[in-house]
Structure 1
Amino acid sequence: MDWFKLSLQLNKFPINRAQKTLQEIQKIPAENYENYLSEKRKEIVEYHLNNNRFYKNFFGKSSFSNWNEVPVMAKTNLQQKLQNRLSKGFSKSTVYIGKTSGSSGTPFIFAKDKFAHALSWAGFQDRYQWHNIDLNKSLQARFYGIPLDFYGNAQERIKDRISLRRRFPIFDLSEQKMEKFLKRFHHSNFSYINGYTSAVLLFAKFLKNRNLILKEVCPSLKLCIVTSERLFKEDKKLMETVFGVPVVNEYGASEVGLIAFENKENEWVVNSEDLFVEILDKNNNPVPNGTEGRIVITSLYNQAHPMIRYDIGDTGILSEKSTLKKPILEKLIGRTNDIATLSDGKVVPGLTFYYVTKSIIGDTGSIKEFVINQNAADAFKIEYVSKTDFSENQKQKILQAIETYVGKNLKVAFERKEKLTRSKSGKLKQFTSDL
């Protein structure tokens, strides 16, 4: 039984047509790909100008002439009633409706027409097959959150059952819960793990402390896919060691689908089939490959709701090896709002603190997780989960590193906790600023 295909068909998503369309797109020669992208961009803009009052008002003109004149959409532009943003001929009952995770602090409800949603799933299936994972047959160990209300929880459980997913809820990641997770791997033929990076990493550290290789516990395991949170090289190395299988990076967003997926050559290949991904500077101009900028995405097939030059809130770099048909994401740097502004006006990526502390804390082997919060222009707090408090020597090393890489005269407080606060979805935001 093709469970993946059946679940989509039961919800009237035309997966067969979507898969055929995807194959046709992939057959387009590289030398003709610029024409394909230009035509689809023009087509989707003109469709929404003619059929979507919200987009026509947002666009500010009645006709399309030049792509660089197409306005960039911010999440705040979409924070209004969904009914006002649907295209002519679509209603809430005829589209797929979802809600963004809100990890950027700017959540909103969105819609996709059923063909566009099916095309997104066809893309996921195509990429998973790069690593011999078949969504119709491969059993997934899913390290995600889950709705806690009765209806939402039951609905998600049914979807999991049909989609060959077995949920590992990550709101409780105590050692006792990890023991239960491990038993499930003993008794199930999981093909792959899929989940938030921080939760999967914590499970990997649990296995390391017990000197276990997960593939020896669960011989059917082939792959681990991590998503939604940053994966560092040293963490990937640890996971691959204790899992005994490759670990690959997935980058996606519910409102646009799959954005990039790592192939067997460790290239983070950007989805150029049903998305057009740009890297723009602060003035909305495209930057050369190899240069950092804002990630801006166009859904080429979503007719129900415009997602055109949509600023997703992340920053990244496309590799200089990129082509229009095969763009390669060299680096995903983080969210544009993950920055610290110091009292002297200096602006520092929040990731800097994470690198500084991680390089030191990682040496101890006893620190499970940590997060950093800026609560004043010159004050930061590091919360961490560990069996013991930081020693004075460890604290001094961290303070010295912060002074070297971030700035002087900064106040840093340390607090050991039993567990860290996660978002409602189960994600762990590793740097936050209250400013």
Structure 2
Amino acid sequence: MNWFKISLQLNKFPINRAQNMLRKIQDIPEEKYEEYLVQKREAIVQYHLEHTNFYKSFFKNKEYSEWKDVPVMNKADLQRPLEDRLSNEFSKKNIYLGKTSGSSGHPFIFAKDRLCHAITWAEFIDRYKWIGINLNKSLQARFYGIPLDFYGNITERFKDRMSLRRRFNIFDLSDSKMQTFLERFKNSNFDYINGYTSAILLFAKYLNKQQLILADICPKLKVCIVTSEKLFEDDKTLIEAAFGVPVINEYGASEVGLIAFEDTSKEWVINSESLFIEILDDQNNILPYGEEGRIVITSLYNKAHPMIRYDIGDTGKLASNSSFKRPILEKLTGRTNDIAKLADGKVVPGLTFYYVTKSIIEDAGSIKEFLVIQTALNRFKIEYVSEQEFTGVQIEKILTAIETFIGKNLKVDFERKQILKRNKSGKLKQFTSMI
């Protein structure tokens, strides 16, 4: 029985209609695809100018003329009561209501109309078929957080049951909990793993330590899908070796849905069916393929709430061989607000610290995970979970690397912890600036 589709239909999400629409969009030939995107993006702007007072005000009460003049919105612009942002044709009774995780520092409640939300799920169903996963039949091992309040917890577990998902609570990632995870894989026929990169990586390291390969324990396992947190190439290699299955990169955001999905040829294919993706510079100029900038997204079908030229807070670039129908995400650098500002005026992407220290720290083999926090213009703290304290030699190597690649006269504090703090959704933010 198609439990997943049934659960969507019970919640009044028209999944059959959405799948039919998706097939028709995918049948549009390449030479007519730019015309499709132009028509849909202009239509959604005109719709919200006519039906959404918030967007009309955000547009400065001007009429639409050219796409390049459509204002760019960010998360801070949406931090106001949802009722003030909804289209006048929708209310909380006929929408999908969601909330962003707040990992960017700007959490907000958002809305999608039911057809828009169904199209998102139609796209997930379609992409998962690329890697041999059927959302109506395949059993998922889900490495995510879960609401801790009674109602939220019960609701999420019911949704998991209907969607063939079995949740692995990542708020406790101790060795004893990892052993519990392992036992579940021994006793269940999981088809795939889906979840946050950091938690999945930690489980892979545990398996490595035990000299085990997960596919030997759970033979039905086909693939692992990582999402929401950056996946480094060497971590991908480690996970694939420990699990014995391929690792697929998924890039999405709750407020807009599926953004990109890695295909079997290892290309990150952008969702061009229901989203329009642009790369902009700091002055909101549209950058050509191959140039890096801010990722800005337009949801072409969300009539409940405007998500038009929405700066999601990430930076990246599209490959030079991209097309309107098949744009390829060549690089996803990280969050635009995750930057370190130094006393000499230098600005460094926060993940630079993570790149620099990562290979050095993991040489020891006993480091489970770590993160970097900027506490002052010239001071940083590295929190880490490890079997032993860092040695003087390890610390000296890290300091030398930071001086070489980041800057001189920087102070670095090291703190070994039993567990690293995750946000409410369970994500681990690898770099945080406190200034």
TM-score over 0.5 (shorter chain): yes
Corresponding letter in the other structure for 1:22: L
CA deviation string 1:101-137 (max 9, x = no partner): 1001001111000000000000011000000100000
1:358 alignment partner in structure 2:
358
Partner of 1:49: 49
* Percent pairwise identity: 69
Post-superposition Cα deviations, 1:196-248, rounded to whole Å, max 9, x if no partner, equal: 00000000000000111100000010010000000000000011111011100
Q: Distance in 2 between matches of 1:368 and 1:84?
A: 45
After superposition, the C-alpha distances for 1:354-384 in whole angstroms (9 at most, x for unaligned) are: 0111010121111000000000000000011
Residue 61 of structure 1: how far off its partner (Å): 3.4
Deviation, structure 1 residue 97: 0.5
Counterpart of 1:63 in structure 2 is 63
What corresponds to 1:341 in structure 2? 341
Report the counterpart of residue 317 of structure 1 in structure 2: 317
Per the alignment, residue 332 of structure 1 pairs with: 332
- Could you tell me which residue of structure 2 aligns to residue 401 of structure 1? 401
> Which residue in the other structure is 2:87 paired with?
87
C-alpha distance in structure 2 between counterparts of 1:399 and 1:52, whole Å = 53
Give the counterpart letter for 1:149 in structure 2: D
- 1:233 aligns to 2:238 (yes or no): no
SS in 2 for 1:277: strand
Please state whether the residue corresponding to 2:169 is helix, strand or coil.
Answer: coil
CA distance in 1 between counterparts of 2:306 and 2:110 reads 9
Determine the C-alpha separation between the residues in 2 that align with 1:295 and 1:316.
Answer: 6
User: Does residue 248 of the first structure (1) align with residue 218 of the second (2)?
Assistant: no
Which AA in structure 1 matches 2:289?
Answer: N
Is the counterpart of residue 189 in structure 1 residue 189 in structure 2? yes
Cα distance in 2 for residues equivalent to 1:16 and 1:303: 19
Structure-1 separation of matches of 2:433 and 2:31: 46
Measured in 2, the distance between the counterparts of 1:134 and 1:426 equals: 26
Mean CA deviation greater in 76-85 or 173-182: 76-85
1:13 Cα shift?
A: 0.2
Structure 1 unpaired stretches of 5+: none
Query: Tell me, what secondary structure is at the counterpart of 2:242?
Result: helix
Task: Tell me which residue corresponds to 1:140.
Answer: 140
Question: Aligned-pair distance for 1:60?
Answer: 1.5
RMSD value, Cα = 0.6
TM-score when scaled to structure 2? 0.99
Runs of 4+ in 1 over 4 A off after TM superposition: none
Deviation of 1:182 (Å): 0.3
2: CA distance between counterparts of 1:103 and 1:291? 26
**Corresponding letter in the other structure for 1:169:** N
- SS state of the match for residue 251, structure 1? strand
Q: Deviations over 1:30-49 (max 9, x none)?
A: 01000000000110000111
AA paired with 2:80?
Q
> Residue type of the partner of 1:406?
I
Q: CA deviation at 1:63?
A: 2.3
1:117 corresponds to which residue? 117
String of CA shifts for 1:127-163, please: whole Å, max 9, x gaps: 0000010000000000000011111101111000000
- Number of the residue aligned with 2:415: 415
Residues 256-305 of structure 1 deviation map (CA, whole Å, 9 limit, x = unaligned) = 00000000000000000000010000010111211110000000000010
Deviation for aligned residue 1:65: 1.4
Q: Structure 2: how far apart are the matches of 1:417 and 1:86?
A: 44
Could you tell me how far 1:249 is from its partner in structure 2? 0.4
CA displacement, residues 142-200 of structure 1 (integer Å, 9 cap, x when unaligned): 00000111111011110000000000000000000000000000000100000000000
Aligned length, in residue pairs: 435
Distance 1:89 1:322 in 2: 36
Q: Provide the C-alpha distance between the structure 1 equivalents of 2:114 and 2:63, rounded to a whole number of angstroms.
A: 27
**Deviation for aligned residue 1:72:** 0.2
Q: Which residue of 2 aligns with 1:23?
A: 23
Gaps of 5+ in 2: none
CA deviation map 1:68-108 (0-9, x unaligned): 01000111111111111111221001100000110010011
- State the secondary structure of the residue aligned to 1:167: strand
User: Aligned AA for 2:111?
Assistant: A
Distance 1:119 1:152 in 2: 25
The amino acid that maps onto 2:386 is: S
Match of 2:371 in 1: 371
Counterpart in the other structure of 1:291: 291
Question: In 1, Cα distance between the equivalents of 2:147 and 2:42?
Answer: 39
Shift of 1:62: 4.1
Of 357-366 and 399-408, the range deviating more from structure 2: 357-366
Q: Find the residue that maps to 2:269 and give its secondary structure.
A: strand
SS where residue 168 of structure 1 aligns? strand
In 2: Cα distance, 1:104 partner to 1:89 partner: 30
Match of 1:6 in 2: 6
Read off the aligned partner of 1:321 and give its amino acid letter. Answer: N
Aligned to 2:199: 199
Offset of residue 3 of structure 1: 1.0
1:14 offset after TM fit, Å? Answer: 0.2
Q: Which amino acid aligns with 2:371?
A: V
Aligned with 2:302: secondary structure? Answer: coil
Equivalent residue, structure 2, for 1:221: 221
TM-score scaled by length of structure 1: 0.99
Q: Which amino acid aligns with 2:276?
A: F
Secondary structure at 1:368 match in 2:
strand
Partner of 1:391: 391
Aligned residue number for residue 160 of structure 2: 160
Give the match for residue 170 of structure 1.
170
| CA distance in structure 1 between the aligned counterparts of 2:154 and 2:345, rounded to whole angstroms | 49
Residue 403 of structure 1, CA deviation? 0.2
